[in-house]
């Protein structure tokens, strides 16, 4: 539970500004990363999935190009 020394009270993490500062006095109280994952911010495993998908689709594209040029399906 974040504690603001300036306001002398506890705050719910949702009552704080997005950067973890006090809405009342502006003092930095809590690391916003301690809170649950911020909506709209993709987790790291999502980007691994994206990279894998792009790599896979890129390889399929290379296969199609090789097939179109040589008539041989690689792999
Ligand atoms: Zn405060």
Q: Where are the domains of the chain?
A: 1-35, 42-75
C-alpha 34 – ligand 1 centre gap (Å): 18
C-alpha 15 – ligand 1 centre gap (Å): 11
C-alpha 57 – ligand 1 centre gap (Å): 50
What does pTM read for this prediction? 0.40
C-alpha 50 – ligand 1 centre gap (Å): 40
Looking at residue 14, the DSSP 8-state letter turns out to be: G
Q: Longest Cα pair distance anywhere in the chain, in angstroms?
A: 75
C-alpha 11 – ligand 1 centre gap (Å): 9
- Tens digit of each residue's pLDDT (9 = 90 or more) over 27-57: 998 875 555 555 677 789 999 999 999 999 9
Give dist(CA 39, CA 18) in Å, integer: 11
- Tens digit of each residue's pLDDT (9 = 90 or more) over 54-66: 999 999 999 999 9
């Amino acid at each position: 539970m974040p504690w603001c020394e300036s306001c002398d009270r506890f705050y719910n993490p949702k009552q704080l500004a997005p950067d973890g500062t006090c809405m009342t006095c502006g003092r930095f109280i809590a690391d916003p990363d301690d809170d649950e994952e911020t909506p709209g911010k993709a987790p790291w495993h999502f980007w691994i999935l994206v990279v894998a998908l792009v790599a896979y689709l890129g390889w399929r594209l290379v296969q199609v190009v090789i097939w179109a040029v040589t008539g041989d399906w690689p792999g």
